[in-house]
Amino acid sequence: MRTRPDRPAAPGPRPRQALTAAAGVTTAVALVLALVVAPPDAVQGEAQRWMYLHVPAAWSAYLCFAVVLVACLPVVRHDAARPRAVARAAAETGVALTALTLLTGSIWGAQTWGTWWVWDARVTTTVAMGLVHVAFLATLALATTRRARRAAGLVGVLGFLMVPVVHLSVVWWRTLHQPPTLLAPGAGAPIAPVMAWTLGVCVLACTLLTAAALLTRVRSGAPHDAVVPARPAATAPAPRPQATP
């Protein structure tokens, strides 16, 4: 029942199209707000606009890894096939967004910190979060038995532990990265209302885009299962690691 191939792998075209349309409209509004309406920062100048891509990308990566966690629970329990496809799509999207976070952070850092890359706790744990999920994808691709797939699901569940570590790394350790402004433990830091609004719309746009990408990926990736040894040309879904030292 769960693996019946004719069953649609995700919501049909109409909800998906509505989601894609909402994502498109929100993204257009977000771009105008981030590039035109929001003022440059008093200290960082125009470079601060990278925040409107960097923060949503990081948030969406967290969200993807939360989806991996939830989807992997039934995989661990009884090797569920559909949640496994969702977990794989979410991990792939999450790894791509982690790479985008590191890339935008690097450019922003070059313009404000004065360096492209530092191995401070925030950057180090973010790279580790990406690598853990690359390892999860590889484990999933290699799992051909029920037992192995359940073990891979456990990697996906435990991998989520990296999310709070990354988010709180700037609080737990002294980093070059500044502490959080909005999702901060205790009181956050002051941010001009227009900047907060812009960031909010950007986060919403990125979340919708991520959801649309995830659904598309689940649909296209659902028929594929583990890479079987008999078919050497079969697709291995694990992407290349994005940032290794």
Q: Which stretches of the chain bind other proteins, using CB under 8 A?
A: 39-44, 48, 51, 111-115, 118-121, 124-125, 127-128, 131-132, 134-135, 137-139, 141-142, 169, 172-176, 178-181, 184, 188-192, 194-195, 227, 229, 231-234, 236, 238-241, 244-245
Pick between residue 51 and residue 90 the one whose CB is nearest to other proteins. Answer: 51
Pick between residue 21 and residue 173 the one whose CB is nearest to other proteins. Answer: 173
* Three-state SS at 45: strand
User: Minimum distance between the CB of residue 89 and other proteins, rounded to whole angstroms?
Assistant: 17
User: Minimum distance between the CB of residue 70 and other proteins, rounded to whole angstroms?
Assistant: 22
Q: What is the DSSP letter of 49?
A: G
User: Minimum distance between the CB of residue 222 and other proteins, rounded to whole angstroms?
Assistant: 19
In order, the DSSP letters of 212-237 are HHHHHHHHHHTT--S--TT-TTS---
Q: How far is CA 186 from the centre of its chain?
A: 25
Pick between residue 68 and residue 127 the one whose CB is nearest to other proteins. Answer: 127
Task: State in Å, rounded, how far the first CA of the chain is from the last one.
Answer: 45
Pick between residue 123 and residue 208 the one whose CB is nearest to other proteins. Answer: 123
The rounded distance, in Å, linking the Cα atoms of 71 and 67 is: 6
Pick between residue 12 and residue 232 the one whose CB is nearest to other proteins. Answer: 232
User: Minimum distance between the CB of residue 116 and other proteins, rounded to whole angstroms?
Assistant: 11
Q: Is 168 exposed, middle or buried (0-12, 13-18, 19+ CB in 10 A)?
A: middle
User: Minimum distance between the CB of residue 24 and other proteins, rounded to whole angstroms?
Assistant: 27
Per residue in 190-215, is it b (16+ CB within 10 Å) or e — as a string? Answer: eeeeebeebbebbbbbbbbbbbbbbb
